[in-house]
Structure 1
Amino acid sequence: MRIKRRTKRFFWRVLISIPVILVGGFLYLYFRPPSSAPPAQITVDMSPDRIEHGRYLFTTLCNCDGCHSERDFSRLGGPVVEAGRGKGGAMALEDLAGKILAPNITPDKETGIGTWTDGEKIRAIREGIGKDGSALFPLMPYTNYRYMSDDDVQALVAYLNTLPPVRNSPPKTQITFPTSMLIKSVPAPVGHKIPPVDPDGGEIYGEYLAKLARCEECHTPLVRGEPDPSMRFAGGRVFATQYGTVVSANITPDQQTGLGKWDFLRFQDRIKSYRQYLTIEPPKAGPDRFTLMPWLAYARLTDHDLEALFLYIKSRTPISHRVNPHPGYPE
């Protein structure tokens, strides 16, 4: 009889403890701060060479303009409106995760990042932590930028510091639950120095460039909202634009459906095909003429960087995957 009573008491204790544990675990996850480290106590070098390299990273390789600058989407490629560089709000994403908008990253002290230290800017870029210690939504590609070398991230910050302040307050990002809780697990401190990658390193340097340019992010199809690891660079990710649907191309070296038959000159010519629009106004965009690929940014890539990217892409596993970039129009 006593054994039965003890068993019954034990059962009820376990039963009562389950919701307590679940609630406690939920509260811990809800209120815990993201993993972070104090920002580095650093003032970046503002030499002309460093600023110019930062400009290249911002406007070209990393294409920060793509989300953070005002753009004229009535024109092919969405050219940047110079007076609105860095003002934020250019790209907005609204789905089940909430409404995400790129913030103002000019040095304006009220609406931008003019009160941020250089160390706080570096932490945000590479570790995904805002000035207030909150986790940035990972649409900001800090999971890629955590591999950015110390020299490159400091150059990027140096250029940011030279942007003309723009007074502009885009609507604040609103992240819905449970995404607001889950993104706290994404940021991570870098915690070590990152040396520069040898620019003469061929495909290894190309891999570094592709990481910063986020080639894999767009050129890999999604499965249940996540990139399919078996289809890296094989294209097929679908994007909706104001002019219609566009699908990313297969850039693996597959002979029939990818870039297997391309040599470097063809690759170089294709990337640079928009270079003319760096000095003249691009044509009007429309349902029969639109693109999401940042051609205007990548048209500025140096031949050296293009060659390294080409070597890296050519070293990938060929994947047979035929893609129609513009559904509804002939391939």
Structure 2
Amino acid sequence: MNKWVKGTSLALAAVAVLAGATVLVGKAMGERKMQRVISVPSTQLLVPAARASLEQGRYLFATRGCADCHTASGGGKEVINSGAMLVISPNITRGANSATATYVGTDWVRTLRHGVKPDGRPVMIMPSEDYNRLSNDDVASIIAYVQQLPPVPGRRATVQLPVAVKVLYAFGYVKDAAELIDHVLPPQPPVLAAVSLAHGAYVANSCVGCHGATLSGGKIPGAPPEWPAPANLTTGNGSAMKRYPTPELFMAMLRSGKRPDGSAISSVMPFGSLREMNDVDVRALHSYLQTLPPRAAGGR
């Protein structure tokens, strides 16, 4: 019996040492991975100055999550403060602690569309996969709008990740946007803004960062543990869309942050942006989501 206890203790100690070594190695690998240099296409877009283009840029900035993370002024804010995880979004104006003061056109495109910083390192936390499928015109409109924002002071951009997240990132269980994006895929052709499935699919691109590539939801890898799992937007088991058979009910939820029964949805969902979406976008998105192939909740 004593030999069995001794053998078991030695085995547990060996497992503990191995686990500790894995964590240390994984942490170092994750930190090194965040510093890797990624080569992506360098695209120069013609940034418009026409009033209509700036208005489109303002609308997209307000409705596609930019303002939720960077604030309406563009100065950035504390996005996540959860235990060992701290994320302060960058100031994207030309004010104090600006992260974009030296950006040229190609830098904006790489960051928005490819999730890659001007120095080639991956952009962390920012869901560039949401913006990768925007048309050239819409990307250019966002850039034009942001570049004319008045300078405001902001805090220095910060991304502090827990050791566990770094380990998961090192081994590919948590991915940055640059890993999720097909960098050689041609830009999305322009889509007419209308209550159509084509436009609904275009709008839905801004949902993939949270709800996953298939929009079936599930816990966001690496997100704070208290964050709820994003809902299944397909028609499969556990679908949240069954609560919204009409576009009116869907629109009311996006603008109120509440379900039809009056219960509040987690504020992690970017209602600040969603409530700014116009009727055409909301109705087109609702129509498109109703056509998604059924997938079980949590498949992302």
Structure 2 counterpart of 1:65: 67
Q: What are the Cα deviations for residues 99-126 of structure 1, in whole angstroms up to 9, with x where unaligned?
A: 5432111123753312211221122100
Aligned partner of 1:133: which letter?
G
Structure 2 counterpart of 1:6: none
SS across alignment from 1:260? helix
Provide the C-alpha distance between the structure 1 equivalents of 2:292 and 2:147, rounded to a whole number of angstroms.
Answer: 37
Provide the C-alpha distance between the structure 2 equivalents of 1:314 and 1:68, rounded to a whole number of angstroms.
Answer: 31
Measured at CA, do residues 258 and 164 of structure 1 come closer, stay the same or move farther in structure 2, by a change above 3 Å? same
Provide the C-alpha distance between the structure 1 equivalents of 2:39 and 2:189, rounded to a whole number of angstroms.
Answer: 23
Measured at CA, do residues 219 and 144 of structure 1 come closer, stay the same or move farther in structure 2, by a change above 3 Å? closer
Once the 2 structures are TM-superposed, how far is the Cα of residue 181 of structure 1 from its aligned partner? 9.9
SS across alignment from 1:91? strand
Measured at CA, do residues 250 and 104 of structure 1 come closer, stay the same or move farther in structure 2, by a change above 3 Å? same
Answer yes or no: is the 8 Å Cα contact 1:108–1:167 preserved in 2.
yes
Once the 2 structures are TM-superposed, how far is the Cα of residue 43 of structure 1 from its aligned partner? 4.7
Does 2:144 correspond to 1:152? no
Q: Give the counterpart of 1:207 among 201, 206, 209.
A: 201
Structure 1 counterpart of 2:20: none
Answer yes or no: is the 8 Å Cα contact 1:93–1:100 preserved in 2.
yes
SS across alignment from 1:125? helix
Measured at CA, do residues 202 and 133 of structure 1 come closer, stay the same or move farther in structure 2, by a change above 3 Å? same
Structure 2 counterpart of 1:273: 256
SS across alignment from 1:210? helix
Aligned partner of 2:148: which letter?
T
Structure 1 counterpart of 2:4: none
SS across alignment from 1:259? helix
Q: What are the Cα deviations for residues 158-201 of structure 1, in whole angstroms up to 9, with x where unaligned?
A: 11012121222325335676647975962664574542123347
Structure 2 counterpart of 1:314: 290
Structure 2 counterpart of 1:44: 47
Answer yes or no: is the 8 Å Cα contact 2:86–2:160 preserved in 1.
yes
Aligned partner of 1:38: which letter?
S
SS across alignment from 2:65? coil
Does 2:168 correspond to 1:170? no
Structure 2 counterpart of 1:197: 191
Does 2:139 correspond to 1:135? no
Once the 2 structures are TM-superposed, how far is the Cα of residue 248 of structure 1 from its aligned partner? 3.5
Listed as ranges, the matches of 1:202-281 within 5 Å are: 202-212=196-206, 214=207, 216-219=208-211, 232-233=215-216, 246-253=228-235, 258-260=240-242, 262-273=245-256
Q: Which runs of 5+ in 2 are unaligned?
A: 1-28, 259-263
Provide the C-alpha distance between the structure 2 equivalents of 1:55 and 1:253, rounded to a whole number of angstroms.
Answer: 32
Measured at CA, do residues 236 and 37 of structure 1 come closer, stay the same or move farther in structure 2, by a change above 3 Å? closer
Does 2:38 correspond to 1:34? yes
Structure 1 counterpart of 2:104: 117
Q: How many residues align?
A: 252
Q: What are the Cα deviations for residues 49-106 of structure 1, in whole angstroms up to 9, with x where unaligned?
A: 111111111111x11122222xxxxxxxxxxxx5xx221232136689x754321111
SS across alignment from 2:110? helix
Measured at CA, do residues 39 and 91 of structure 1 come closer, stay the same or move farther in structure 2, by a change above 3 Å? same
Structure 2 counterpart of 1:103: 90
Measured at CA, do residues 57 and 267 of structure 1 come closer, stay the same or move farther in structure 2, by a change above 3 Å? same
Measured at CA, do residues 161 and 311 of structure 1 come closer, stay the same or move farther in structure 2, by a change above 3 Å? same
Measured at CA, do residues 203 and 147 of structure 1 come closer, stay the same or move farther in structure 2, by a change above 3 Å? same
Aligned partner of 2:93: which letter?
T
Once the 2 structures are TM-superposed, how far is the Cα of residue 45 of structure 1 from its aligned partner? 0.8
Provide the C-alpha distance between the structure 2 equivalents of 1:130 and 1:235, rounded to a whole number of angstroms.
Answer: 28
* Identical columns (%): 25
Answer yes or no: is the 8 Å Cα contact 1:236–1:249 preserved in 2.
no
Does 2:288 correspond to 1:294? no
Provide the C-alpha distance between the structure 1 equivalents of 2:191 and 2:87, rounded to a whole number of angstroms.
Answer: 32
Measured at CA, do residues 110 and 268 of structure 1 come closer, stay the same or move farther in structure 2, by a change above 3 Å? closer
Once the 2 structures are TM-superposed, how far is the Cα of residue 247 of structure 1 from its aligned partner? 4.6
Q: Which runs of 5+ in 1 are unaligned?
A: 1-25, 70-81, 221-226, 276-287, 323-331
Once the 2 structures are TM-superposed, how far is the Cα of residue 290 of structure 1 from its aligned partner? 5.7
With the length of structure 1 as denominator, give the TM-score of the two structures. 0.62
Does 2:280 correspond to 1:304? yes
Aligned partner of 2:156: which letter?
P
